[in-house]
Amino acid sequence: MQRNLVLAISLIASGQALANNEIQTVKVSGAVSHELASELPVGSVVIDRQMIDSLPANDLTEVLDSVAGLQSSRLYGINGANASLDLLGFGATANQNTLILLNGRRLSNIDFSGPNLTGIPLAAIERIEILPGAGAALYGNGATGGTINIITRQRYQNSAGLEINGGSYDARGGQLYATGNNHHLSGALAAQTLDSDGFRDNNHTRNHNLFSDIRYQGKGFQAYFTATGEEQTIGQPGGRSVTVTENAFRNDPQGASTPDDEASQSNYWLMPGLRIDMSERIAFTLDAGRRRQHQEWDFVSDGSASDTVIDSYSLTPKLEGQLSTGGAVHNWTLGFDLYKYDYTSDSTSGERELEQNQRAWYLHNLISLTPRLSVSAGARQLESTLRGEGEPKEQDGEMYEGGLRYTFTGNLALFAGAQRSVRIANVNELSASNPPIDPQTGHTYTVGASWSEGMQHSTLTLWRADIQNEIVFDPATSTNRNLEDPTLHKGISINSRWRLDKDLTFTANASAQQARFDGGQYSGNDVPLVPEHTMSLAADWQALSWLSAQLTHRYLGDRHYDSDLTNEYTKLDHYRTTDLQLTARYRGAYLRAGVYNMENNLFADYGAYTPGNGSATLYPLPERHYRVAIGYEL
């Protein structure tokens, strides 16, 4: 939706290769190329800049929702706030089993809160790399379902722009940017704001964010400093109840069951880094990070409140290089990750002051045995220590992944991969109210094919994941605990993009999946909140030299309500939505108008069941709504 609104920057060479869907040997010129994701033996999906521009999406959550095998769930439907992302079907624990990264650095939190995606403007993104069922060895804890790596722009040209937008629910916003390039130095500064009353009562959103990036390219080295900041306030209207005698979801979807509840958060992230070419084939990268998250909520409805601060520090040095042994070419990475978290929470249920340290060594090697055959292997050793409540809680785990990929003539490639993942319990799950929790382990296997011809690129992936000691919330005991018996996740997805002619591009993505308890008291039951079928269709048409149109259609199948581990309650209904966007351009000026949920469907991504009283709670998402933007770019 936000086409070139924040940063007008050319693609780097590796980004161009990904956009053209080329399958080629990874090459190193001072540093490992970003083509690594497309060369791994997994069903990698790369959302490039062109694809982001072709979707009528208002935020990052809506972009990711177009990928088969990846489901987003929104509570309130405004700007992607409070959204969760679920790779390979984990339902309520999706945020803990899908690892989210920004430029290779962890966005996923150490508590129950989901990663904050609202502060990342779409136009700041170069591409998004999605690795289903992979990434544990390269990126670490929490990659059970896979990894999503959001990569921002890397080069800047002289440009500037301004946009003002508005729409339904008294939505008002705008953004501006300026980028520049002066020989070795380039940079960008962008600001974005949104103010909306929201679809429901007490559903307001106030969001303001800043993004800045400075890069210096010297001879044999690169220095960079990226900073982000955000402030957000959002009303908490609660769910709409469904009982034997009342259906507030159908009869009053815009109402609020908690009209006075509110939550707010502010955060900033400072990310300095340095990359040094040690030789033509070896590069050293040293990234550091300082991140502060302040979360507050005041729930008048039940008299509870909370004030939480998480201070994060990271240091992630790594060596990347390429070497040849005989006819084989090794693209290797050796790294060390150090993360330190200071967690302070003052709530009506008590005070907590915790410190968590995570340390990990990892080694990964992608080997091109021949121009057509490649093999990958990686390993990671993780150690985690939590202090602040009684004896220190030590948790560790070993992660492995590997596979092979063979490319035939005509750019048809077959792949097979496997990984052993580990998920360390978060600070909420390790609280004194829960029983001792062991690390969760998973064994994931993927096979499939990718093929490209001309402007067509498709990826077919089949997966199976066996999860041991899965960490879940058990409504029967109101605690988080390990399941004694395994869960089984399996499915198939297809992601396909076709350039039908120079003016028309079509995308068709779909998945069929199943997540079930494989033993114990819930044996044979479906894992809640995991749909059996999903589908996304999109068309991008350059109708005239000055007019373009984007149309998308999304389907999400039936799934059980959260907390319905016994599968005793009816399912959460499937739904379909269609979005249309038109953009007119004259020189540097543009006018964009969109209508979303054209069918005016009433639907919800999330619903929770209350065992024992036969009631449920649903969180309605916006019915038909509109958005208009006017802007100018230099």
Section 349-359 average pLDDT: 93
pLDDT at 125: 84
Residue 529 in this model has a pLDDT that exceeds 80: yes
Per-residue HEC secondary structure of 167-189 comes to ECCCEEEEEEEEEEEECCEEEEE
- The CATH code belonging to domain 13-633 is 2.40.170.20
Over residues 209-250, the pLDDT tens digits come to 898 989 999 999 999 999 999 999 999 999 999 998 899 999
Residue 8 in this model has a pLDDT that exceeds 90: no
17 vs 516, which has greater pLDDT?
516
Say how far apart CA 373 and CA 211 lie, in whole Å: 41
Section 406-427 average pLDDT: 91
pLDDT at 495: 94
Q: How many CB atoms lie within 10 A of CB 439?
A: 19
Residue 10 in this model has a pLDDT that exceeds 80: no
Of 478, 604, 498, give the one whose Cα is nearest residue 541: 498
* HSE-CB for 77 with a 13 A CA cutoff: 29
Q: What is the mean pLDDT of the chain?
A: 88
pLDDT at 35: 59
CA dihedral 554, 43, 486, 472 (to 10 degrees): -50
Give the DSSP per-residue string, 32-51: B-TTHHHHSSS--EEEEHHH
Q: Are the C-beta atoms of 489 and 90 separated by less than 8 Å?
A: yes
pLDDT at 434: 85
Over residues 546-601, the pLDDT tens digits come to 999 999 999 999 999 999 999 999 999 999 999 999 999 999 999 999 999 999 99
284 vs 389, which has greater pLDDT?
284
Section 388-416 average pLDDT: 91
55 vs 523, which has greater pLDDT?
523
Element (H or E) spanning 449, and its range?
A: strand 440-453
Percent of all residues in the chain with a pLDDT value above 90, rounded to a whole number = 69
With a CB cutoff of 8 Å and minimum separation 6, the contacts of 288 are 271, 272, 273, 314, 315, 316
Section 506-532 average pLDDT: 94
Over residues 123-162, the pLDDT tens digits come to 778 889 999 999 999 999 999 999 999 988 777 888 899 9
- pLDDT grade, residue 74 (50/70/90)? confident
Section 81-87 average pLDDT: 83
Residue 22 in this model has a pLDDT that exceeds 50: no
